[in-house]
Structure 1
Amino acid sequence: MTRWTITAVLAATALAVGACGDDEGGSGSGSAGGDEGGGKTLTIYSSLPLQGAARTQSLAAVNGAKLALEQSGGKAGAYKIKYESLDDSTAQQGGWEPGVTSANALKAAGDDSTIGYIGEFNSGATAVSLPILNEAGIAQVSPGNTAVGITTNDPGSEPGEPDKYYPSGVRTYARVLPKDTYQGAALVALAKEEGCTSAFVLNDKEVYGAGLAKNVELSAQKQGLDIKGNEGIDKNAANYRSVASNIKSSGAQCFIYSGITANNAVQIFKDVAAALPDAPLLGPEGVGESGFFDPKEGGLPADVASRVRITIPGVAPEEYPPAGKEFLAAYTAKFGEKNPDRYAVYGYESMMLLLDAIRRAGPDGADRQAVAQRLLTTKDREGVFGTYSIDKNGDITLTPYGVYKIADGAMVFDHTVEAPSS
């Protein structure tokens, strides 16, 4: 993905909203509410890539959100809640697409009943939707973002981040995954665990991939891992044999990919594996998708997959607290999946966060500004993967990372990695 100029996105937003002829409810201090039930029905949208490499994970997140709303009786406090799932992807793109993402955010912003928004799955997509939703004052929770610059100007962010995503000047966004400060450290720590003293990084140039690669470099300096190179790739290349040859020539002992599956990750790993037959191949949660690890869905062949290790935020399901185990049982009973994808958990928790914010707003539960404020003051919430808070920037306070292997076309938890972030 190329980085978007937020000014251009906002200009397009203004034109599109005007064309719709309905820009009511766009004020951050406005109240949401449909005609049903005397203005008591509110809408929560989700925007996730329901086509392409992340389809399985996105559908799991949608199912998780549906389960959360069902368990809440379809209500939050005194308000009835309607849920509408949107697709931010196209078949041609094989993943999220900027124009579709923008249209989804505009749809939610232009709906007077909108009180919350679950999305996006990709950090780059959030760079498109967040300014639109923030200007409308809509509380947004991501079940998949980790890019540092979405919430802070910490190392790994770009100039102008995160302020350019918040044109209203007020924070309205939170996420249920930790920022990539921790994932960068986890990948470096994993490389050292694998016995590597050096590594080469390829990134996909997206907001997520480029930012995470910087975090890997910064953590490598602190942990004593020599980074032989950090290069951006052409996601449309037919192959990466020349790039892999350069990595081999660098003398790097480990390979680290920083990006998402949809940006040709499978081909990248296959070509690097051929050039470096003995090197550990490491990837982030951005490739923790069946489209990457399951050969039946176009994922890696078994001989390459056996050398891959993936860092995933959170603890293994067997380490979930009671609330998490109850969720797993309920999800299995409803959807018939004994081992649900982890994004089912993230989708569930994202919906629960929004419902909780609406409830805590009490009589102001239909007021977007009040709900967003409650979202950003979430404290000691007993979630499905542990007790956590949301800090003033919108970041979750839980930061552990697990390491997963690939076996028989599935990810298998291996161990928790100790990843110093500072």
Structure 2
Amino acid sequence: MHKFAGMLLPAFCVLAVASNAEAQEAVIKIGHVAPMSGGQAHLGKDNEAGAKLAIEDLNKAGITIGGKKAKFVLVSEDDGADPRQGTAVAQKLVDAKVVGVVGHLNSGTSIPASKIYYDAGIPQISPSSTAPKYTQQGFNTTFRVVANDSQLGARLGQYAVSQLKAKKVAVIDDRTAYGQGVADEFSKAAKAAGAAIVATQFTTDKATEFSAILTAVKSAAPDVVFYGGMDAQAGPLLRQMKQLGINAKLMGGDGICTEGLVNLAGDGMADGQVICAEAGGVTGEEEKGMEAFRADFKKRTGGEVQLYAPYVYDAVMVLADSIKKAGSAEPDRYLPYLAKADYKGVTGRISFDSKGDIKNGSLTLYSYKAGKRERIAVVK
């Protein structure tokens, strides 16, 4: 028996043992930002859940970086979908010495925050920011794993005319970088395809009352109403469209294309009335991986995927894969590996062009029937 058996070790010995254990571990902090409060909190929490699952899976994998076992830690912040709050938490993450950031959810917060990350040399991957400007600022630290609004808005505008046979279209947006951007792209494509834009109205991303703008829209008798914004507004918008007797189709981007839209709209949504597009999508063999992820997500979190969680999961995994290949979590060391990533994720193959946009980004068109979101098609 060791002569110290049964004896209390001196405090300095305990500290020495703890310090030695820590020395064998490489702590890698990854930041995550989304609106965890306010009207978009359900989407923010969905994103955070995806990030947490990725961190758990990475730590289970027992990855070694630079001869040390990697311990990945998620540092999560709430930007409230507010640009000022977004830049404040971005600086907070820089000060916390995160080595990379997954977020923000909204283009309106991702764009101003991206300058802070760029100045600090920290890579940022957004799982959901689709405004073209986000990757057009010349920052080599900025990436996204979804298609942008130029692709998404244009596809919806073409669909409105070619498939829905819309001749008159009304456009409403929430004046955010995302909402205005996707609405502008939709309008350009719809006009180019032959539709007339008969009404243009604006609201905010905090509004819940739309009677005034919908009354103006009704007088224009549109076939389609396009809303550039999020589901927290699209739900009440649908209810008030029904109250005013507006029977037009409602179209929108990924911001409204959520599982939660059904509850937010209440009895305001008729079967097939909503046509929306999600920036992403898989087909063929890749569908099995997405289905497995959704089942695993529900088992581990107790809830359904709302929208972006799979993209958040993949964004964390792409960061970690680049760190592993570089053999270092130092941003300047692994950034070149991230820029030339070729990663097979839950959401499909992930690689980036020179701006940081995903190559060959896909889109999924959806509608809703009997209270369920149904896929129409996946397009490239």
Query: What secondary structure, in the 3-state scheme, does the structure 2 residue paired with 1:57 have?
Result: helix
2:257 pairs with 1:288:
yes
Structure 1 pair 117–305 and aligned structure 2 pair: CA distance change class (3 A): farther
CA spacing shift, 1:55–1:76, aligned 2, 3 Å: farther
- 2:141 corresponds to which of 172, 177, 180: 172
* Cα distance between partner residues in 2 of 1:231 and 1:254: 14
The residue that corresponds to 2:28 in the other structure is 42
Which residue does the alignment assign to 2:165?
A: 195
Asked if the contact 1:123–1:150 (Cα under 8 Å) also holds between the matched residues in 2, the reply is: yes
How far apart in 1 are the matches of 2:93 and 2:243? 46
Q: Is the 8 A contact 2:176 2:205 kept in 1?
A: no
Matches within 5 A, 1:217-232: 217-232=187-202
- Give the Å deviation of 1:237: 5.7
Shift of 1:288: 2.8
Q: Partner residue of 1:403?
A: 365
The answer as to 2:39 corresponding to 1:53 is yes
Match of 2:355 in 1: 393
Structure-1 separation of matches of 2:318 and 2:172? 35
Is residue 248 from structure 1 mapped to residue 218 from structure 2 by the alignment? yes
> Letter of the aligned partner of 1:48 in structure 2?
A
Partner residue of 1:68?
54
Alpha-carbon distance in structure 2 between the residues aligned to 1:408 and 1:53: 25
Residue identity matched to 1:56: H
Determine if the alignment matches structure 1 residue 209 to structure 2 residue 179: yes
Alignment partner of 2:74 out of 63, 71, 83: 83
Hey, what does 1:277 align to over in structure 2? 246
CA distance in 2, matches of 1:418, 1:195: 19
Structure 2 partner of 1:416: 377
Indicate how the Cα distance of structure 1 residues 406 and 318 shifts in structure 2: closer, same or farther if over 3 A, else same: farther
Q: Does 1:330 align with 2:296?
A: yes
Post-superposition offset of 1:123 = 0.7
TM-score, with length taken from structure 1: 0.75
Q: Is the 8 A contact 1:61 1:347 kept in 2?
A: yes
Structure 2 residue identity aligned to 1:354? L
Please state whether the residue corresponding to 1:99 is helix, strand or coil. Answer: helix
Q: Which one of 80, 83, 101 corresponds to residue 86 of structure 2?
A: 101
> Which one of the candidate residues 126, 130, 133 is aligned to 1:142?
126
The answer to whether the aligner puts 1:378 opposite 2:341 as a matched pair is: yes
Q: Report the TM-score when normalising by structure 2.
A: 0.83
For the pair shown, the structure with the greater C-alpha radius of gyration is 2
Q: 1:124 corresponds to which residue?
A: 108
**CA–CA distance in 2 between the matches of 1:371 and 1:267?**
45
Judge conservation of contact 1:204–1:258 (CA < 8 Å) in 2: yes
Q: Is the 8 A contact 2:127 2:311 kept in 1?
A: yes
Q: Residue type of the partner of 2:48?
A: V
Letter in 1 for 2:57: Q
2:6 paired residue number: none
TM-superposed CA distance for 1:377, in Å, is 1.6
| Amino acid in structure 2 at the alignment position of 1:270 | R
What amino acid does structure 1 have at the position aligned with 2:311? Answer: Y
- Counterpart CA distance in 2 for 1:99 and 1:218 is 30
Which of 99, 111, 117 aligns to 1:115? It is 99
Helix, strand or coil at the partner of 2:74 = strand
**Alignment RMSD:** 2.7
In 1: Cα distance, 2:334 partner to 2:236 partner: 44
1:396-417 Cα deviation digits (max 9, x unpaired): 124332222334554x123116
**1:367 aligned partner:** 330
- Are the structure 2 counterparts of residues 131 and 98 from structure 1 closer, same or farther at C-alpha, using a change threshold of 3 Å? same
User: Per the alignment, do residues 218 and 68 of structure 1 end up closer, same or farther by CA in structure 2, a change over 3 Å counting?
Assistant: same
Gaps of 5+ in 2: 1-20
Offset of residue 107 of structure 1: 1.3
Alignment check: 8 A CA contact 1:60 1:347 kept: no
Decide whether the 8 Å contact of 2:364 with 2:378 is kept in 1.
yes
Q: Return the alpha-carbon distance in structure 2 between the equivalents of residues 117 and 220 of structure 1.
A: 36
CA distance in 1, matches of 2:84, 2:149: 26
Residues 331-354 of structure 1, C-alpha deviations (whole Å, 9 max, x = no match): 3442345x5334221121111111
Say which SS state the counterpart of residue 394 (structure 1) adopts: coil
Displacement after TM superposition at 1:122 (Å): 0.7
Identity of aligned residues (%): 26
Alignment of 1:305-316 (within 5 A): 305-306=270-271, 307-315=273-281
- Flag the 1:132–1:76 CA change in 2: closer, same or farther, 3 A: farther
Structure 1 gap segments, 5+ residues each? 1-34, 90-95, 153-161
SS at match of 2:214: helix
Q: CA deviation at 1:316?
A: 6.2
**2:108–2:178 Cα contact (<8 Å) kept:** yes
**Residue 195 to residue 221, structure 1, CA distance change in 2 (3 Å):** closer
Q: State the alpha-carbon separation in 2 of the partners of residues 102 and 408 from structure 1.
A: 41
Quick one: structure 1 residues 378 and 371, their matched pair in 2 at CA, closer, same or farther if it must change by over 3 Å?
Answer: same
Q: Give the match for residue 228 of structure 2.
A: 258
Answer whether contact 1:88 1:97 (CA < 8 A) is retained: yes
Distance change (3 Å), C-alpha of 1:334 and 1:372: same
Pairwise CA distance, 1:218: 2.1
From 314, 320, 330, the counterpart of 1:349:
314
Question: Whose relative contact order is higher, 1 or 2, with alpha carbons under 8 Å and at least 6 apart?
Answer: 1
